[in-house]
Chains A and B, each alone.
Chain A
Amino acid sequence: MRNLFARMKRHIVVLFAVLGPGFITAMVDNDSGGIYTYSQAGARWLYLPLWTLLPITIALIVTQEMCSRMGAVTGKGLSDLIREEFGLRMTFGIMLLLVLANLTNIVAEFAGVATALDIFGVSKFISVPLAAILVWFLAVKGNYQNIEKIFLFACLIYVSYIAAGILVKPDWKEAALYSVRPKLMMDSGYIAMLIAMVGTTIAPWMQFYLQAAVVEKGITTKEYRESRIEVIIGCVMTSVIAFFIIVACAGAYRDHPTDISSAKEAALALKPFGQYAVLLFSAGLLNASVFAACILPLSTAYSVCEGMGFEHGVNKRWNEAPIFYWLYTLLIVVGAGIVVLPNFPLVKMILLSQVLNGMLLPFILIFMIILINKKNLMHEWVNPPVYNAVAWVTVVVVIGMTLALTGITLRNPQ
């Protein structure tokens, strides 16, 4: 018995030591775009879309697990592996698309910051530049160990959505029921919403960030078991947060389901349930946007420099890794700059971001499966056949959904 406790204790100690990459990546998946999608789903279709969260969680776990395994076994980032196995030209193309896709995502995050603080009456001309400076200083002045601690703290703030969801007093029975009962309707709006929910789940940047973070943290095959648990907990928590966002909006719009056009609208609809509900919802949005705005430029600059073979990493000084820091700075300046432009076309930007992600994702996911099946890279850690089948199905479904979403946004740009 004592032996069992000792073993449990060791597992928990190691779990805390590997805590970070999987949790952070999964949490950032609920960025400003994700929160908008979930709010929209809850406000228009109430509890009906809840069942998609289960397959979404599985898809997240399957893809994230592969990346963290590749990181732990090879000790190399995803762009490193793509470069070594598919050559410079392919890497260059992928990186070019990644920079463009992530730049549009960064714009969306800063727009999220503007929206969240707009609820409190702060002008975007103040909030966005301030957020940009804050984000920039984080990487230029910090080291990775401290940054990760800040990120983990940011993960905690997502709890505000759980609180907001509870304050709204939704119909828990119905929420529980629709979480497990798949509901399909031949309504084009409903189907588009389902596609959007799955399509926004897995973004190309996440795979790069997660694998790089696993490598940076020095996780090896020895701690891999705990690392996998961490990835799974992170993915489940992400879906729990998504569940509460949908439920909060479903509760708020229970009498009059509405098509909403921004997360701000969702936050304000919580007013009848008290100032706290609004505050919590907006704080969650602000945190998620700033959080993602921190990670995206960092991860982009890191992946690009890694793939192209330039010096990189926040533990390097500016003159040691100039390309890394300049790219990082440029992404923030351009990303935040576009948001404060007068007549900034946010809708077109989100559309562009969707198209670019949709173009990039199939490459990344298929490369991942090819890489993880290479015996000379992964040794005994290659995908087992059953897992491979699950991974292929997941990848095909995710790619299909993402392409469908891209198609819908292109045909129907609101």
Chain B
Amino acid sequence: MTPERTAAENFDFLFFTETIGMPVYDLKHRRIGRVKDVAIVPLIHAARVDRFLVSAGGPWLSIRYDQIASISLSGGIQLSNEKLYPYHSDEYMLRIQRDLLDQQIIDVNGRKVVRVNDVTFEIRHDDRDSLSILEVDVGLRSIFRRLTQGVVPPQWVRRAQQSIQPNSIRWDYCNIVEADPLRRLRLNISHDKLELLHPADLADIVEELGPAEREAIMGTIDSEVAAEALSEIDPKMQASILEALEPDVAADIVEEMSPDQAADALAELGDETTAEILEEMETEPLEDVKELLEYDENTAGGMMNTEAIVLPEETTLAEAMVRLREHEDLLENTHVLFLADAGNRITGAVPLARLFLADGHTRMKDLSLGRLISTGPEEKQNRVTELFDKYNLLAMPVLEKDGTLAGVITADDVITVLRHK
């Protein structure tokens, strides 16, 4: 038998449902009261139970973790120090019963919003016993515990629940959502963990929350992550989130969005709010967004993006590669390069994949596709999707009347349009 295995068998745990109502004994082993709630103080320790709130009939008493000698399911809580103070509401405490139980939290690992049914503590036996939050329990097993709590002896509950599938989330993976910024600070709550999620998952989670929590998350996480997530959210909800945020915070997020998505999001807002956000934006993305806002949403102009890589048609492949390295930030979403003549008129398109097969001396012009398929900014959405379907395009240039590039429509813009039909 491995040592870990032994440790696991001796592993001592306690559910919050069992902690509630647990008797507390003084040094002479007289019962002085029962546990009503327990609290962690996140600024001191993220998981250790710092306070036990105990009722002895009158006002609640507050017991610190270092006043306790032992904790066990059968023996209750034995004190090592009897100097107890009355409990005053403390803004730095996260109380399990009041603040966590029955509330929604985000499971960062499972990528969803869950409701807390119970909490599992580990009993740590150092020089004194202490409780530390191990997992947050969701699912049927913890519902069973809540319903039987206080009605059936806890030992029976433990035995009876064996047949029900457990469902718990490690405390490290739990992200509490708090809308009040002051409370967020006091309870040391951050939304950093959410930044690790895929933007599409984060978008799903944000859509499931109430408006206040939604805005709290979008306003506090990194604006680049917020921008990516916001792009995945339903346009109507995008608008209500942006509207609720401070204009400068909203502007930071909009700046990070691609200009076409930024323009779509702003188009849903009221004129006044749009103006406020535009005012706060930096000049470079601002021009593109303003330009795109001019176009009707249901035209090629409304679908297109202004970010594209355009190269002179006479460039050789080797020179082109040097230019591409300068545009590293754009490459991730680029599938086609565009070529222009001396008058900046677009003359051809080169799929990125073709670059791998040619040698460095080839002129870009010779790599370009046979016939350039393009459209004008006023073209109807339907016509654009037809062109994509007919010619199996990945990207299509949108040209002004003089033949210069107005923008580029990519396949994912077309998918978005089709999905919203």
> A residues bordering B, Cβ < 8 Å?
73-76, 80, 83-84, 87-89, 92, 218, 220-222, 308-309, 311
Contacts and interface: CB of A to CB of B under 8 A. Distances in A.
Contact of A309 (B115, B147, B213): B115
Given A308-B143, A309-B114, A309-B138, A87 B102 contact: yes
Contact of B211 (A75, A84, A92, A311): A75
A92 B102 CA distance: 12
B237 A218 contact: yes
B258 interface: no
A92 B147 contact: yes
B103 interface: yes
B240 interface: yes
A221 B114 CA distance: 25
B102 A75 contact: no
Contacts of B243: 222
Contacts of A92: 143, 147
B421 to A, nearest CB: 11
B5 interface: no
Most chain A beta carbons < 10 A, residue from B112, B115, B234: B115
Contact of A220 (B112, B138, B240): B240
A311 B138 CA distance: 11
Contacts of B153: none
B147 A75 contact: no
Contact of B236 (A73, A84, A87, A218): A218
Contacts of B101: 87-88
Contact of B146 (A73, A88, A221): A88
Contacts of B58: none
Contacts of A220: 211, 240
In the A-B complex, the 7 residue pairs with the closest CB atoms:
A309-B115, A75-B210, A88-B146, A75-B211, A220-B240, A76-B210, A74-B210
B103 A84 contact: yes
A88 B143 contact: yes
Contacts of B365: none
Contacts of B211: 73-75, 220-221
A198 B234 CA distance: 41
Contacts of B112: 311
B117 interface: yes
Contacts of A221: 211
Contact of B115 (A73, A74, A83, A222): A83
A177 B138 CA distance: 59
Interface string B210-247: 11111000000000000000000010110010010000
Most chain A beta carbons < 10 A, residue from B101, B138, B236: B236
Given A74-B210, A87-B102, A222 B240 contact: yes
A309 B214 contact: no
Given A75-B210, A75-B211, A88-B101, 15 more contacts: A74-B211, A75-B214, A80-B104, A83-B115, A84-B102, A84-B103, A88-B117, A88-B147, A89-B147, A218-B236, A218-B240, A220-B240, A222-B240, A308-B115, A309-B138
A211 to B, nearest CB: 12
Contacts of A89: 146-147
Given A218-B237, A309-B114, A309-B115, A88 B210 contact: no
A74 B211 CA distance: 7
B214 to A, nearest CB: 7
Interface in B99-118: 101-104, 112, 114-115, 117
Contacts of B240: 218, 220, 222
B69 interface: no
A311 B214 CA distance: 19
Contact of A83 (B102, B210, B214, B236): B102
Contacts of B115: 83, 308-309
25 contacts: A73-B211, A74-B210, A74-B211, A75-B210, A75-B214, A76-B210, A80-B104, A83-B115, A84-B102, A84-B103, A87-B101, A88-B101, A88-B102, A88-B147, A89-B146, A92-B147, A218-B234, A218-B236, A218-B237, A221-B211, A222-B240, A222-B243, A308-B143, A309-B114, A309-B115
Contacts of B212: 75
